[in-house]
Amino acid sequence: MGSTYTVRIWAVRQRKDRGQTSAELRWKVGDTPHSQTFGTKTLADSRRAELLTAVNAGEPFDEATGVPVRELRQRNDVSWYQHARDYIEMKWPAAPAKTRTGLADTLATATPALVTSRRGMPDTRELRSALYSWAFNFNRWTDDHPAEVVRILAWVERNAMPVSAMDDPIVMRKVLTAFTQRLDGKKAAASVVKRKRAVFHNALGYAVEARRLPHNPLPQVQWVIPPTGEEVDPGCVVNPRQARTLLDAVEKQGTRGEHLKAFFGCLYHAGLRPAEAVWLRHENCELPLSGWGTLHLDGSRPRVGRGWTDSGQPHDERGLKWRAEREIRHVPIPPHFTAMLREHVQAHGVAPDGRLFRTARGGLVQESGYGEVWARARKKALTAQQHASPLGARPYDLRHACVSLWLNSGVDPVEVARRAGHSVAVLLKVYAKCLDGATAMANARIDDALKRWQ
């Protein structure tokens, strides 16, 4: 049922029930009849007059409850703080842990801009921390809150503006401005602003769904979303020779380096995301003695933090990114990398659960650990100029290099997208023109095409 302007109101009639006289008001909204009983005819007439006034003013009525939509919205009105917590509670069960942190970050940024008074406002950083870590972390709602957090959140609860007051472009602009600024006063990255606006828009959409707002007010603001550079910077992509040199530099860093060489190889030779390589198990690997092998990927373990996962573990238990639950991605791997993984298993064995890569204590590989090894490898393998540049600055850049190499080698983009776990549209937008030397390769192909026509 929705809202309608079709309303019919009958005259009040008096009834005698068990020796007592009461007044009944009957009306019909759309196809749904409604009635309400009052102790006196005067009260019933007064309510009838209210409904008639709404009809004459051209207000829509809610068919399910039978009352004017405006009145229903007033009944449902809550503070922004309460609505934000309702939104978190609604989104939490189905949201991956990383998404939960994004939701909390957005609402913690928006809430300080949605208050009726700044008098007695807590310190900016303490306020953001209390909102992010406690108010909008559903897992911690039942925990004992520190006294300072209780004080800060009590201030927010007292001063948060009602949701009904948010149907105002000026208020919306204040929130959007807050999204563009970091806590240190510097400008936020365009991608962060875009992500936060999307979450906030969704939270306002939930307010419409909950009958707390008549419509989503955010599109009314004449505000241009900052352009985001989604394309991979070609300057960060290593070529095959540089990749080999870097992997060799990893291997030379003692026992941990020898163990992690194949881990970084997964990123460069198979295009795995780091979280996918962390969860790679022996059962996922098809490693023949000769020829191409295959990795059968069925999940990932991104590190988010204990407070945000359902398991209470630092790593979230997830399926493949942008894929249906339990979907498997099959990635062929070249013979030399197949041999590298086979040698890795022979030299280092596997964890009790089959994982190829693990810490010294058998735990999941940590970003801080492999990031430190990668930083030393860059310093050792690259020239001073290259080291100061973004070339291979992050382990994730090895994945960029892998996908770019596939594309520039002439592999069908559909096949590249399938192997990388992307849509074709995202693939072509993000990864094109990233291989070191791609311009020369393209020029050579054009030369060959022209020569064939001479």
* DSSP structure string for 61-118: EETTT-SBHHHHHHHH--BHHHHHHHHHHHHGGGS-HHHHHHHHHHHHHHGGGSBS--
Instruction: Please say whether the beta carbons of 195 and 145 come within 8 A.
Output: no
SS3 at position 188: coil
Give the C-alpha distances (Å, rounded to integers) separating 238 from 267, 281, 298, 314, 371.
Answer: 12, 27, 28, 31, 17
| Dist. CA 171–CA 164, nearest whole Å | 11
pLDDT, position 64: 84
pLDDT, position 435: 46
Other CB atoms within 10 Å distance of the CB of residue 24: 16
pLDDT, position 351: 95
Instruction: Tell me the β-bridge partners of 79.
Output: 162
pLDDT, position 18: 58
Instruction: Please say whether the beta carbons of 254 and 268 come within 8 A.
Output: no
pTM: 0.75
Instruction: Please say whether the beta carbons of 166 and 114 come within 8 A.
Output: yes
Match domain 234-443 to its CATH number in 1.10.3720.10, 3.40.50.300, 3.40.50.970, 1.10.443.10.
1.10.443.10
Give, rounded to a whole angstrom, the gap between the first and last alpha carbons of the chain: 71
pLDDT, position 245: 96
Contacts (Cβ under 8 Å, ≥6 apart) of 148? 126, 130
| Dist. CA 237–CA 49, nearest whole Å | 72
| Dist. CA 257–CA 243, nearest whole Å | 15
**Residue ranges per structural domain of the chain:** 3-74, 80-220, 234-443
| Dist. CA 293–CA 265, nearest whole Å | 14
pLDDT, position 433: 56
In tens digits, the chain (454 residues) has pLDDT values of: 678 999 999 999 988 775 677 899 999 999 999 999 998 889 999 999 999 999 999 989 988 889 888 888 778 789 999 999 999 999 999 999 999 999 999 999 999 999 999 999 999 999 999 999 999 999 999 999 999 999 999 999 999 999 988 989 999 999 999 999 999 989 998 889 999 999 999 999 999 998 888 899 999 998 887 766 566 777 888 999 999 999 999 999 999 999 999 999 999 999 999 999 999 999 999 999 999 999 999 988 988 888 999 888 888 888 776 566 678 999 999 999 999 999 999 999 999 999 999 998 899 999 999 999 999 999 999 999 999 999 999 999 999 999 988 888 888 889 989 998 888 887 877 765 554 455 666 677 788 888 887 6
| Dist. CA 103–CA 306, nearest whole Å | 16
Hunting for tokens 């911690």 — which residue is that?
140
Instruction: Tell me the β-bridge partners of 13.
Output: 24
Please, is 276 exposed, middle or buried when counting C-beta atoms within 10 Å of its C-beta (0-12, 13-18, 19+)? buried
